[in-house]
Amino acid sequence: MDPELIKDCVHCGFCLPTCPTYVLWGEEMDSPRGRIHLMSQHVEGTPVTPEMAGHFDACLGCMACVTACPSGVRYDRLIEQTRAVVEREHVRAPEERAIRELVFALFPYRRRLRALRLPMRLATRLRPLLERVHPSLGAMAELVPPPARPVRLPPRVHAVGRRRATVGMLVGCVQSQFFPQVNAATARVLALEGCDVVIPPRQGCCGALSLHSGRDARRFAKATIETFERAGVEAVVVNVAGCGSSMKEYAEVLKDEPGGWAERAAALRVRDLAEYLVELGPVAPRHPLPVTVAYHDACHLAHAQGVRSQPRELLRAIPGLELREIAESAVCCGSAGTYNLFQPGPARELGDRKARHVLATRADVLVSANPGCSMQIAAAMRRSGEGEMRVAHTAEVLDASLRGLGARALGGR
Amino acid sequence: MSDPVLDRLAVRFEELLPAGAVITDPVRLRTYECDGLTHHRAMPGIVVLPETAEQVAAAVRLCGEYGVPFVARGSGTGLSGGALPRTDGVLIVTSRMRRILEIDLPNRRAVVEPGVTNLAITEAVREQGYYYAPDPSSQQVCSIGGNVAENAGGAHCLKYGFTVNHILGLEIVTPDGEIVELSALDPGYDLLGAFVGSEGTLGIATKITVRLSRTPEAVTTLLAAFGSIEGGGEAVSAIIAAGIVPAAIEMMDALAVEAAEAAVGCAYPEGAGAVLIVELDGPRAEVEHQFAAVERICRETGAFEIRVAASAEERAAIWKGRKSAFAAVGRISPAYIVQDGVVPRTALPEVLAGIDRLQEEYGIRVANVFHAGDGNLHPLVLFDDAAPGEGERAATVSGRILDLCIEHGGSITGEHGVGVDKSRYMPKMFTEEDLDTMQLVRCAFDPRSLSNPGKVFPTPRLCGEVPGVRKGVHPLVESGRAEQF
Amino acid sequence: MNAATGPGAALAAAGVTIRPAGPDDAVAGVAPRWVALPETTREIAAVMRVSAAHDLAVVVAGAGTTLHWGRPPERCDVLIDTCCLNEILEHEAGDLVVRVQAGVPVETLTEALAAKGQELALDPPLAGGTVGGLLAAGLAGPRAFRYGTARDLLIGITVVLADGTIAKAGGKVVKNVAGYDLGKLFTGSYGTLGVIADATFRLHPLPAARACVVWSGPTLDEILAAVPAVTASQAEPSAVELDRPAPDGPRAVAVLVEGAAAAERARAVRDLLGGEARIADEPPRWWGRLPEPGFVEPGGPSGGGGVLLEIRTVPSRLPGLFAGALARTDAAVRGSLASAVLRVALPAETDPAAAAAFVSALRAELADEGRVVVLSAPEPVARRVDLWGHVGGLALMRRIKDRFDPDRRMSPGRFVGGI
Ligand SMILES: Cc1cc2nc3c(=O)[nH]c(=O)nc-3n(C[C@H](O)[C@H](O)[C@H](O)COP(=O)(O)OP(=O)(O)OC[C@H]3O[C@@H](n4cnc5c(N)ncnc54)[C@H](O)[C@@H]3O)c2cc1C
Ligand code: SF4
Ligand code: SF4
């Protein structure tokens, strides 16, 4: 934990109201300001006590605090460093360790995830039992969406009309398994906007899960860089907020690696889909889409990448579409990567809170750029019994408009 | 914990409060060691997080039973160390009391718990065309209870007044643990007015009724860049002399602009020696009329660039630099002191010149941000805490700025409060008699001095015997014309 | 007691003008023995020290316009007349601040400020009062809706306590949070905490223009139905006043609009009120005066002789009040529909029992959502009612009184709970 980074914090508290754990519990130790204070205690010699570790573990890594901070505190860096220290110095209880191992063994690997899909469906029925064994297992089961028809994407999708750019596309581990249609929509939108889309077939995990949990992500990062270097693209477009944010950090992750890795990472122009489309400017005609949309700011997009206005801009530009804001939009829905697996209690509370706000918009469709968020909020809405809402990725909404499919095309799974 | 009294008290708290509402673990306790003023630190003996007024009252009564002092804390953004805990005492934090209890638009009021943030009130009524007027720069985080305790102000208080002008009722827990309702409707002494701004020394506010104001029909925000602070100051005087009371007139000097630029990229005009933000609001016809006058005045007093916000976004962009100025200074200086002093508006030029002289004398940079309309200065005294002696020199400069304010008939604090930080300046502003008289109020509320002791007043004073033992039965009672309450 | 060592001699030796009291000096029937005419704060302190040494009860009088309000003092030995504390101490126009001695007549101050294009935005409902009296009685007028009451405009105060201590609080800057706000405590304290020696106020520029929308003749229902839209309107009226001389007599509502473009905004208000309303340059004659029972034509002496009440409530309670207790009497009502502060006067000849029942009925009607204070009443009525009604925090108030005036010598008994 870098004392210089800690010192940037002037203790103003501006970060408190958007911190999900502070919103839930209203206590200093579970606020960004409090966590930074805990870090400084550690730097000053206090060992990592179980209490301290608990407050760091409870952090969702949503980075709302980074957005809110006027002093430019790099909480993102701080918490990553801290998690690494916690992993190193803090001995966890055995069952907690087991759950963590399970998640890290499964999620970053597409094939393992695929294999898991069926058993997970089974698990849905076993949820009460799993819940009793460990709440995390229950959470895993609850989140699983119904299986998606596999979509096979070609290695290259050609631009429609004049080619304006050649871009790479990351398909994402969870996305490609549970939401393959989003990847398909993304590729189509890019192509319709004049991009050749290169989709390297053997791309691995980008390392997001590890990075956000204090584990070593360097191996994943290097592999991903190599993959896209080979693809020969001008930019890498990412439609999963969590993956995008960690890929944008590659240069930082690899800064001490020999072999010019940091420069290679920096050369990879990583862009979120919405960010990229706004940069590129629209050419394809938008067809009317008469729906009301509630747009959810995925933390890894809004806070980690600062992409807030672009998706809204794209959505508003669709004729007939009405965009509604969700109250407390800066507060995390509780999904945050592996959070709902490790901290099912608070994740659930945050999900419920978010679901209430989303339902209050009375929109037809909930749109976000992160499959984790959609899964989380949809589950919470189901649980609440107050009503459900179709969910869609920004790419799917754009796809429906560009292709003139009409409102009904949205949210079909 | 080594203090046996606190140990016993903690056990009693555990019995009384919900699970997880009593904090005794030292690592956790330490996160409460300071508020927004970080150079005063003290680890609280115990922290409690009550959820209801009854719990607060019970906690206060327990403190009384054990003779242990207590300190209230809201969001901990205070800049005078008002919420500095006591090592031998209890910190009562309102951050779990954040329900908006009632919104009553026909009567233009809302009833909220003390932990609700200032901005949350406005957000709850904005769509219906109302807002809560006092707007401290920290409004997104500071609690309304903390606002009441500090009588918080903000940029828009020039026209609309301070917290005290917008509080219609309070439920307080007195230092002896009683719950008392105070209403602006009540005849009798203005206890409401006395409590607001008392910095937690007269008890804890547990429920607050605030006035809601109607959103103005029109708002115009103008940013004018001047070559120098003097030019800006002249514009301010001329605006006031023209009989215009803007919603806000804020000024920043070149250094403050530099910091804001570094932090939020506010893109204020380059080369400005001072930037003036003037906001007019009210009925459209009135605003348009006044706007023309303000624009003319700015030009006449030498503004080299004037920008007018045409939309809510542009207005937000203009304000962004100003509102983030305090914390933003962290970008241009390793450490800094936020000062808060007030001078009569007409004395502004002299005082600013005085601050310039201090900068030279001590080799310390001072960035100036101020509510120019009401003469409230926020000099930010910059220093490098790694450079030996600089911290002390900065503290001296900061103190001498207050001396300047007092010399010119001003005040040592316009909105941040006295707290622990400025209690030693109180005797410079007030005589011993003045302070003793204020102390009478303290003694009436808190004869044992358990509620936030050591704040506001320089030396702890004993209240002594409760005086006024009545000489016999009250004649009105005797004659049956009044009853003893 | 020996004349040379008694209180009279001590007072005479204090270096302050003292005269023996005459029958005209009685305070609500209680005759003082001496009248002191201090010219400075120090002289007040000298009087107070002598009073403390000789256990003399003290009542302070300005112009005496509200001296009969509240209960009569239990005793009164010295009447401090503030007439010689009549200086405007400082008026820095550029700061919009004025500091005045307590005995300055409000009218004098108003004129002096107007000469500089400024005003103290309080409109006391009684003519002829002093600044000190205005503060001690906590009087407010129609524009309180926009500017607040005396406590909101007071920014500094100097007081002399019962033992002669001179203390000040606040200052001469508008924004100031150093120390407790004693000014607020003394505002509306009826002289029971000490003597107000001088006061500092924040001022406002005189409005560039003003216009008043007057609607005469509508029914109360019509008025009450129209007013919420006016108070909530973005035309920002400064005041919305009602005049209802009798339940079945003529009635009028007047809305004051001040500031640039007043005429235009007044038209917006008129449209909200309806076709009958007219725009005038100045408010009607009854504006800002106490209600006058029995006088259909305004202009007579205010509040004299009869029962005068103040109702403070919230706007949503007004219709119920007018349909209920206020409909049934010959009460004259004037006051602000915007801030829901009404003053009610009953004719002097009202039967005391009926007056008391009326007050009770009003209180019952309002319950928690309002207060009814009997500002003044003839003795037979005063005996039958609790003048103040419910007072939150009375125990704390007593404790404050005990600290400030432990011997109960400052206007004893005049105020809430017999303070
Ligand atoms: C960046 C920044 C900008 C700021 N800008 C402004 C500004 O523009 N204007 C301004 O006025 N202030 C400003 N402040 C100061 C601060 O935000 C205010 O003083 C605010 O009112 C404090 O609220 P809080 O909830 O943080 O209170 P805390 O800091 O927790 O407490 C402040 C004081 O209030 C007492 N207290 C808290 N809650 C209660 C309660 N329920 N009952 C009784 N006493 C209580 C505490 O004991 C303490 O004395 C700023 C602070 C920061 C960090
Ligand atoms: S990352 Fe999110 S959860 Fe963690 S401290 Fe910041 S705001 Fe709170
Ligand atoms: S907003 Fe930034 S500086 Fe302020 S407390 Fe949070 S992290 Fe620290």
pLDDT digits (tens, 9 = 90+) for B18-71: 999 999 999 999 999 999 999 899 999 999 999 999 999 999 999 999 999 999
pLDDT at residue B471, rounded to an integer:
42
Ligand nearest to the Cα of A11, by number: 3
pLDDT at residue A206, rounded to an integer:
79
CB contact under 8 A, C182 and B289: no
CB contact under 8 A, B410 and C395: no
In 3D, which of A271, A249, A288, A285 has the Cα closest to residue A66?
Answer: A249
Domains of chain A and CATH, by start: 3-89 (1.10.1060.10), 94-143 (no CATH), 156-278 (1.20.1050), 285-410 (3.40.50.10700)
For chain A, what is the total number of helices (H) and then of strands (E)? 24, 9
Chain B closest CA to A53's CA: distance in Å?
Answer: 11
Question: Could you tell me if the CB of A10 is within 6 A of ligand 3?
Answer: yes
Question: Could you tell me if the CB of B73 is within 6 A of ligand 1?
Answer: yes
Q: Count of CB atoms within 10 A of residue A105's CB?
A: 10
**Å from CA of C87 to ligand 3 middle:** 52
Q: For C210-280, which CATH class?
A: alpha beta
Which of the listed ranges A168-182, B71-85, B248-262 does the model predict with the highest average pLDDT? B71-85
Q: B361 CB contacts (<8 Å, ≥6 apart)?
A: none
pLDDT at residue A379, rounded to an integer:
87
Compute the 3-state secondary structure of chain B and give helix, strand, coil in percent, each to the nearest 5: 40, 20, 40
Q: What is the pLDDT of residues B242-291, one digit of tens each?
A: 999 999 999 999 999 998 888 888 889 988 999 999 999 999 999 999 99
When pLDDT is cut at 50, 70 and 90, the band that residue B9 belongs to is very high
Cα(B236)–Cα(A394) distance, integer angstroms: 49
Q: What is the pLDDT of residues A371-387, one digit of tens each?
A: 778 888 988 998 888 88
Residue C30 at interface with chain B, using a CB cutoff of 8 Å: no
Residue A16 at interface with chain B, using a CB cutoff of 8 Å: yes
Interstrand relation of B46-48 and B90-93 (parallel, antiparallel or unpaired): parallel
Interstrand relation of A365-368 and A292-295 (parallel, antiparallel or unpaired): parallel
CA A354 to chain centre: 16
Is the pLDDT confidence value at B214 over 70?
Answer: yes
Rg (CA), chain B: 24
**In contact, B358 and B366? CB cutoff 8 Å:** yes
Q: C338 CB contacts (<8 Å, ≥6 apart)?
A: C145, C227, C230, C231, C237, C239, C240, C315
**In contact, A273 and A242? CB cutoff 8 Å:** no
Instruction: Return the C-alpha torsion angle B73, B77, B80, B85, nearest 10.
Output: 30
**In contact, C199 and C245? CB cutoff 8 Å:** no
pLDDT at residue B1, rounded to an integer:
47
Cα(B397)–Cα(B221) distance, integer angstroms: 34
Residue positions counted in chain A? 413
- B contacts of C311 (beta carbons < 8 Å): none
Q: What is the pLDDT of residues C134-149, one digit of tens each?
A: 999 988 899 999 999 9
Q: Which of B25, B31, B328 sits opposite A70 (nearest CB)?
A: B328
Could you tell me if residue A320 is left (phi over 0), alpha (psi between -120 and 50 degrees) or otherwise beta? left
pLDDT at residue A144, rounded to an integer:
57
* Mean pLDDT within A74-80: 92
Is the pLDDT confidence value at A113 over 60?
Answer: no
Residue C370 at interface with chain B, using a CB cutoff of 8 Å: yes
Mutational pocket test of ligand 2: of A19, A29, A353, the residue with most ligand atoms within 8 Å of the beta carbon: A19
In 3D, which of C359, C353, C355, C386 has the Cα closest to residue C70?
Answer: C386
Extended beta strands in C228-298, E state: 239-244, 252-258, 278-280
Q: What is the pLDDT of residues A146-157, one digit of tens each?
A: 556 667 788 899
Give the whole-number percent of chain A exceeding pLDDT 90. Answer: 49
Fold of C86-205: 3.30.465
When pLDDT is cut at 50, 70 and 90, the band that residue A115 belongs to is low
Domains C7-83+405-418 and C86-205 agree in fold: yes
**In contact, C152 and B161? CB cutoff 8 Å:** yes
CB contact under 8 A, C208 and B180: no
For chain B, what is the total number of helices (H) and then of strands (E)? 17, 19
Could you tell me if residue B63 is left (phi over 0), alpha (psi between -120 and 50 degrees) or otherwise beta? alpha
Q: A54 CB contacts (<8 Å, ≥6 apart)?
A: none
Query: Atom 1 in ligand 3: which residue has the minimum CA distance?
Result: A69
pLDDT at residue A256, rounded to an integer:
86
**In contact, B367 and B379? CB cutoff 8 Å:** yes
In 3D, which of A364, A345, A352, A360 has the Cα closest to residue A407?
Answer: A364
pLDDT at residue B353, rounded to an integer:
93
Domain C7-83+405-418, what architecture? 2-Layer Sandwich (3.30)
When pLDDT is cut at 50, 70 and 90, the band that residue A177 belongs to is confident
Cα(B387)–Cα(B381) distance, integer angstroms: 15
Query: Atom 8 in ligand 2: which residue has the minimum CA distance?
Result: A19
| Mutation site for B-interface testing, chosen from A6, A14, A66 by largest number of B Cβ within 10 Å | A14
Scanning C88-155, the segments in alpha helix (DSSP H) are 106-114, 131-137, 144-147, 150-153
Fold of C307-382: Alpha-Beta Plaits (3.30.70)
CB contact under 8 A, B107 and C312: no
Residues 38-67 of A with CB under 8 A from B: 38, 41, 46, 49, 51-52, 55
Query: Atom 4 in ligand 2: which residue has the minimum CA distance?
Result: A59
Query: What are the tokens at B79?
Result: 């800049």
pLDDT at residue A129, rounded to an integer:
55
Sheet of A292-295: strand order equals A322-325, A292-295, A365-368, A390-393
Q: Count of CB atoms within 10 A of residue A218's CB?
A: 17
Q: Which of B193, B240, B442 sits opposite C151 (nearest CB)?
A: B193
Chain B closest CA to C58's CA: distance in Å?
Answer: 17
In 3D, which of C63, C75, C71 has the Cα closest to residue C135?
Answer: C63
Local mean pLDDT, 10-residue blocks, chain C (419 residues): 74 93 91 96 97 96 88 95 96 94 97 96 89 92 95 97 97 94 97 97 94 93 93 93 88 94 93 89 92 51 69 96 89 94 90 94 94 92 93 96 96 95
When pLDDT is cut at 50, 70 and 90, the band that residue A126 belongs to is low
**Å from CA of C329 to ligand 3 middle:** 63
Query: What are the tokens at C295?
Result: 């006088």
Is the pLDDT confidence value at A75 over 50?
Answer: yes
CA B352, B353, B358, B359 dihedral sign is positive
| Mutation site for B-interface testing, chosen from C310, C403, C405, C415 by largest number of B Cβ within 10 Å | C403
Residues 203-222 of A with CB under 8 A from B: none
Taking each helix axis from N to C end, the angle separating A309-316 and A273-280, rounded to the nearest 10 degrees, works out to 60
Cα(A214)–Cα(B63) distance, integer angstroms: 43
Domain boundaries defined on chain C:
7-83+405-418, 86-205, 210-280, 307-382
Query: What are the tokens at A210?
Result: 């590890």
- Residue given tokens 């207005």 in the structure block: B315
Domains of chain B and CATH, by start: 4-93 (3.30.43.10), 100-214 (3.30.465.10), 217-332 (3.30.70.2190), 333-429 (3.30.70.2740), 430-469 (no CATH)
CB contact under 8 A, B328 and A46: no
* Mean pLDDT within A270-292: 95
Cα(A344)–Cα(C194) distance, integer angstroms: 63
Ligand nearest to the Cα of B119, by number: 1
pLDDT at residue C301, rounded to an integer:
39
Strand, helix or coil for residue B247: coil
Q: Which of A8, A12, A72 sits opposite B36 (nearest CB)?
A: A12
CB contact under 8 A, A8 and B330: yes
Query: What are the tokens at C18?
Result: 């003292």
Q: Pocket around ligand 2: residues whose beta carbon is below 6 Å from it? A: A 19-21, 32, 35, 59-65, 75
pLDDT at residue B472, rounded to an integer:
44
- B contacts of A25 (beta carbons < 8 Å): 20, 96
Closest ligand 3 atom to A72 CA: 2
Is the pLDDT confidence value at B455 over 50?
Answer: yes
Cα(B240)–Cα(A393) distance, integer angstroms: 54
**C10 φ, ψ (degrees, to nearest 5):** -60, -40
| Mutation site for B-interface testing, chosen from A28, A55, A361 by largest number of B Cβ within 10 Å | A28
When pLDDT is cut at 50, 70 and 90, the band that residue B473 belongs to is very low
* Mean pLDDT within B343-358: 93
* Mean pLDDT within A316-328: 94
CB contact under 8 A, B31 and A28: yes
- Burial, B481: exposed, middle or buried (Cβ in 10 Å; 0-12, 13-18, 19+)? middle
Question: Could you tell me if the CB of A12 is within 6 A of ligand 3?
Answer: yes
**Å from CA of A68 to ligand 3 middle:** 8
**Å from CA of A13 to ligand 3 middle:** 5
Upper half-sphere CA count for residue C47 (Cβ side, 13 Å): 31
**Å from CA of A66 to ligand 2 middle:** 8
Is the pLDDT confidence value at A412 over 90?
Answer: no
pLDDT at residue C311, rounded to an integer:
97
Q: What angle do CA C57, C62, C68 make, to 5 degrees?
A: 70
> How many contacts, defined by CB atoms under 8 Å, are there between A and B?
92
For chain C, what is the total number of helices (H) and then of strands (E)? 13, 19
In 3D, which of B357, B439, B373, B375 has the Cα closest to residue B413?
Answer: B375
Question: What residues in chain B have their Cβ under 8 A from chain A's Cβ atoms?
Answer: 20, 23, 25, 27-28, 30-36, 38, 49, 75-77, 93, 95-96, 98, 115, 117, 119-120, 138, 140-142, 263-264, 324, 326-328, 330-331, 334
